[in-house]
Amino acid sequence: MALIVQKYGGTSVGSVDKMKAVAKRVIECSQEGNQLVVILSAMAGQTDRLIQLAGEITDHPDPRELDVLLSTGEQVSIALFAMIIKSMGYDVRSLLGFQVAVLTDRLYGKARIRKVETARLKRELKRNRIVAVAGFQGLDSHSDITTLGRGGSDTTAVAIAAVLNAEVCEIYTDVNGVYTTDPHICPKARKLDAISYDEMLEMASLGARVMEIRSVEFAKKYNVSIHVRSSFSKERGTMVVAETMDMEKVLVSGVAYNKDEARITVKKVPDNPGIASQIFKPIGEAGVVVDMIVQNTSEDGLTDVTFTVSKSDFYNTMKVVRDVALEIGAEKVLGDEDISKVSIIGVGMRSHAGVAQTMFETLFRENINILMISTSEIKISCVIEEKYTELAVRSLHKVFGLHNEKLQER
């Protein structure tokens, strides 16, 4: 008898009919003799609707109350799902984050899991029940509800799989697995049979939302085996695993994009020691995560500092940076929201020169201007104008030999 954790995303539970299909799948797996913990997301679009409702009241909803609100989406899903399983004649228990207890820190909206208790889960499983757990939510040290950040149900699932030592954590979604790039924008994307934790981490951090980044961090840390697959087919999906030797041979294994970034430039900053710290300290204190940073070589003792933040942090950051700019005597602050970041990823890049050049040349051939560049051992990212995202992704996908040539371009 194996213990299996399954997570179903928003589209997979987007209607009662879809939930019924999920329930059948879960029951089949249970009939094969497995113990099942099923993590559910809110029904498709529900979290966005709740955010919009809060936005009708204020631009800055109280973070504590926002988490109380957002966590309701998943509560609806587990209750309906449990009713369906019961109506099919099987025993089931729905559990909210606090009932499990998924314990987190106090960072509302992006809380980190500190600990997951196993007693209640184990008790329910021992009674031969299917356990349905609300994803994306936890409880902080003050017994307040927290949420884990968008896409956080993946993290709930992997954390629970880790503490229960589950045989596998299956992430059910609306595509057949992890592809060489987003199959919704590049129809010739190829499904990968396996991907290493490190590559999946890079892909996730660079915008491929098929798995949420913290869930991959968890999986890597606790060696949880992950199977990303479709809710709508029986096809085998993608295993996310520790790196193996033959993975080294692939030069570039994926292309990712992120349209959720904005660029800020502080012009003509006096090039003195401590300036970077003066700019970025208040940004950090405002809880904003900065992604890429570029500082130009200085001319006449003045330099430009450019960086990116997520679009949701743009206005807030602009405000903070304008104040700093005045203090340090910078000339002005420029902002641009119409950008996106396109990246190529591959562990094989470590040992190959020329990959960056191929990327730059490909973008040049398509007449796409590169606004910023950043590299690491296993990725190269370029910031470009947002309107060229799809073109850039498809061209890079092709030039690095990732196209599935068996498929016709749609």
Contact residues toward ligand ASP (CB under 6 A) are 9-10, 41-42, 47, 73, 135-136, 150-154
Enter the DSSP assignment of 270: E
Which residue has 């980190």 as its token pair? 112
Please name the amino acid found at residue 330. Answer: A
Stretch that binds ligand ADP, among 8-16, 17-25, 111-119, 306-314 (CB under 6 A): 8-16
Nearer to ligand ADP, 139 or 203 (CB): 203
Stretch that binds ligand ADP, among 6-14, 81-89, 270-278, 360-368 (CB under 6 A): 6-14
From the CB of 212, what's the least distance to Mg ion, in Å?
6
From the CB of 10, what's the least distance to ligand ASP, in Å?
5
Q: Cβ neighbours of residue 82 under 8 Å, at least 6 residues apart?
A: 92, 93, 94, 132
Q: What is the CA radius of gyration of the chain?
A: 23
From the CB of 136, what's the least distance to ligand ASP, in Å?
4
Structure tokens at 121: 């889960």
Structure tokens at 88: 């099919």
Please name the amino acid found at residue 168. Answer: V
Residue 11 binds which of ligand ASP, ligand ADP, Mg ion, none (CB < 5-8 A, kind-dependent): ligand ADP
Which residue has 């085996």 as its token pair? 225
- Can you tell me whether residue 378 is helix, strand or coil? coil
Q: Which residue is nearest to Mg ion (CB)?
A: 151
Euclidean distance between CA atoms 1 and 149, whole angstroms: 33
Interaction residues for ligand ADP, span 180-199 (CB under 6 A): 181-184
Euclidean distance between CA atoms 374 and 47, whole angstroms: 33
Nearer to ligand ADP, 9 or 138 (CB): 9
**309 makes contact with ligand ADP (CB under 6 A):** no
Euclidean distance between CA atoms 369 and 336, whole angstroms: 15
From the CB of 171, what's the least distance to ligand ASP, in Å?
10
**207 makes contact with Mg ion (CB under 5 A):** no
Stretch that binds Mg ion, among 44-52, 77-85, 150-158, 390-398 (CB under 5 A): 150-158
Q: Exactly one of 71, 137, 173, 389 binds ligand ADP (CB under 6 A); which one?
A: 173
> Minimal CA–CA distance to 44: which of 20, 76, 21, 68?
76
Interaction residues for ligand ADP, span 15-54 (CB under 6 A): 41
Nearer to ligand ADP, 138 or 183 (CB): 183
Structure tokens at 120: 């209640």
Binding mask 113-152 for ligand ADP (x = CB under 6 A): --------------------------------------x-
Residue 120 binds which of Mg ion, ligand ADP, ligand ASP, none (CB < 5-8 A, kind-dependent): none
**208 makes contact with ligand ADP (CB under 6 A):** yes
Residue 61 binds which of ligand ASP, Mg ion, ligand ADP, none (CB < 5-8 A, kind-dependent): none
Structure tokens at 45: 């679009």
Would you say 182 and 257 are in contact if contact means Cβ atoms under 8 Å apart? Answer: yes
Q: Exactly one of 151, 183, 207, 346 binds Mg ion (CB under 5 A); which one?
A: 151
Structure tokens at 221: 């840390």
> Minimal CA–CA distance to 5: which of 154, 199, 198, 192?
154
**11 makes contact with ligand ADP (CB under 6 A):** yes
From the CB of 42, what's the least distance to ligand ASP, in Å?
4
Euclidean distance between CA atoms 256 and 210, whole angstroms: 11
Which residue has 């031969």 as its token pair? 128
Would you say 343 and 199 are in contact if contact means Cβ atoms under 8 Å apart? Answer: no
Q: Cβ neighbours of residue 297 under 8 Å, at least 6 residues apart?
A: 303
Binding site for Mg ion (CB under 5 A): 9, 151
